[in-house]
Amino acid sequence: MSESKKCLVCDSNVEPFVSFGKMPIANGFLREDEFSKESFYDLAVGVCVGCKMVQLTELIDPSKLFHENYAYFSSTSQGMRKHFQAFALEALNQTTERSDRFVLEIGSNDGIMLRNIAEAGVRHLGVEPSENVAKAAIASGIQTRCCFFDSKSASQIRAEHGPADLILGANVICHIPDLHSLIQGVCTLLNKNGLFIFEEPYLGDIVNRTSYDQFYDEHFYYFSIQSLSELLNSYGLHIVNAQAQEVHGGSMRYTVCWAGDKTEAPALHSLKSREDQLGLDSLVKLNELKDRIEKSRDDLRSLLETLKGEGKRVVGYGATSKSTIVTNYGNIGPELVEYISDTTPTKQGKFNPGTHIPIMPYESFTANYPDYALLFAWNHREEIVEKEQHFLSQGGRFITFVPTVGIVD
Ligand code: SAH
Ligand code: TYD
Ligand code: ZN
């Protein structure tokens, strides 16, 4: 791990506005015999005084995060499967009807999005560096290349497959510290009239909802339309549309093409004005966010302590990477949260990073309902509440902390 307080986009200074102290790797769920070798880094977020890009102040080598034991399998959520089906088909409909169309996805994980492109019979390739999830995609018949997407791999892909009519990405562009190499790769591959459509957690929603658990190692950048526009424009690319999405606690889907290929959607202008009002690049506004984050942390701890004092059982719902930040920043361990229930087999039987709360299969939850379920997967709240009607009818209650701490009615 190397310290970086210079902007990785433009080399100006990054002004930190919130610091979380030492954090473990957010997706680093571990066994008991691994506790002693757990590694920590300083988690702080800042804004670049030059290009206004919000980013982490410390860089972790991507190969430490994305590898053969990557914990996140995208297809575990049914809601996300539906979301990506609609995304893929909508994007495909916007491309030319060229018979030999080629669709590339950056960060294709277990194939949650590309399976829809494959099923439509369209030539495709996923680029996915985490070997275990890439293998799952390959096993279900999705063409996948196991490597990091960058300018170099893009040139190789171009030589082997030709230009791409559609380049897709979701929750991955913000993971890539070297944005210049990424965009150069996109430029190498994007066909004339081609589209680059990607969707990422949106800084506007983090600010509005105080969803500070989006700040963690894998999310190196926190994009706004304005900060991305400037960067893409410098490569002759242009954002022509931005569409707000509810997934992952508030995301933005950007449609990008070669400058001059298409006209801007009218909605773009008002979304940019809203960013000015929110002050997404203003240190004053970002410092106010910091104050709300500290209050959220304190409120959650005191609610959990109160419930403990009343002898209530609280378990976590969803061992998300986001929960690593909430538990470590709030110093919440097994004394306050008995275990975390999660449906992902590779997380079960392990412990959460840092505060070492056990991760248990979902069956433990249904076999013996707790009094309260702390909704770490708050971004899947609708899907979960719908599924947990029996828990609720037995008197169980959900606790949330976004946008503020409280018990869900
Ligand atoms: N797109 C999926 C997965 C998001 S998780 C979804 O939205 O559910 C982020 C994924 O990006 C991981 O699978 C990780 O291995 C991959 N990734 C990280 N850096 C990458 C890079 N440089 N190129 C391609 N994929 C990358
Ligand atoms: P998610 O919020 O998508 O990701 P992140 O790691 O990026 O914060 O993770 C959801 C986690 O919650 C995942 O480990 C699966 C688990 N989960 C359940 O256990 N039950 C559910 O009903 C859902 C929707 C998710
Ligand atoms: Zn910068």
pLDDT value at residue 1: 35
Return the minimum-mean-pLDDT range out of 162-166, 195-199, 276-280. Answer: 276-280
Q: Over range 41-56, report the average pLDDT.
A: 96
Ligand 2 contacts CB of residue 343 (under 6 A): yes
| Residue 268 pLDDT level (bands cut at 50, 70, 90) | very high
Reading the block at residue 371, the tokens are 């009094």
Tens-place pLDDT, residues 283-338? 999 999 999 999 999 999 999 999 999 999 999 999 999 999 999 999 999 999 99
pLDDT value at residue 23: 97
Pocket residues: Cβ below 6 A from ligand 1 = 62, 66, 70, 72, 74, 106-107, 109, 112, 127-130, 133, 148-149, 170-172, 175-176
Ligand located closest to 60 CA? 1
Are 337 and 314 within 8 A, CB to CB?
yes
pLDDT value at residue 311: 98
If you measure from the C-alpha of residue 407 to the centroid of ligand 3, how many angstroms do you get, rounded to a whole number? Answer: 40
Atom of ligand 2 nearest to the CA of 213: 8
pLDDT value at residue 76: 86
Nearest CA to ligand 2 atom 1: 320
With the most atoms of ligand 2 within 8 angstroms of its CB, the residue from 73, 320, 402 to mutate is: 320
If you measure from the C-alpha of residue 376 to the centroid of ligand 3, how many angstroms do you get, rounded to a whole number? Answer: 32
Are 262 and 212 within 8 A, CB to CB?
no
243: Cα separation from own chain's centroid: 17
| Residue 409 pLDDT level (bands cut at 50, 70, 90) | confident
Atom of ligand 2 nearest to the CA of 322: 8
| Residue 14 pLDDT level (bands cut at 50, 70, 90) | very high
Ligand located closest to 71 CA? 2
Return the minimum-mean-pLDDT range out of 63-77, 103-117, 279-293. Answer: 63-77
Ligand 2 contacts CB of residue 321 (under 6 A): yes
Rounded to 5 degrees, φ, ψ at 257 are -145, 180
Ligand 2 contacts CB of residue 115 (under 6 A): no
Helix runs in 168-265, H state only: 179-189, 203-209, 225-233
123: Cα separation from own chain's centroid: 27
Reading the block at residue 107, the tokens are 């960060």
Pair type for strands 164-170 and 190-201: parallel
- pTM over the 0.85 mark: yes
Nearest Cα neighbor of 319 from 345, 298, 293 is 345
If you measure from the C-alpha of residue 251 to the centroid of ligand 1, how many angstroms do you get, rounded to a whole number? Answer: 16
If you measure from the C-alpha of residue 268 to the centroid of ligand 3, how many angstroms do you get, rounded to a whole number? Answer: 23
If you measure from the C-alpha of residue 320 to the centroid of ligand 2, how many angstroms do you get, rounded to a whole number? Answer: 5
pLDDT value at residue 370: 98
Rounded to 5 degrees, φ, ψ at 108 are -80, -5
Q: Which residues pair with 105 in a beta bridge?
A: 126, 168
Determine the Cα–Cα distance for residues 266 and 23; give it in Å rounded to an integer. Answer: 42
For the cut 60, the answer to whether the pLDDT of residue 264 exceeds it is yes
For the cut 60, the answer to whether the pLDDT of residue 366 exceeds it is yes
What percent of the chain clears pLDDT 90, i.e. is strictly above it?
94
Pair type for strands 397-400 and 372-375: parallel
Ligand located closest to 153 CA? 1
Nearest CA to ligand 2 atom 4: 320
Computed over every residue of the chain, the mean pLDDT equals 96
For the cut 60, the answer to whether the pLDDT of residue 27 exceeds it is yes
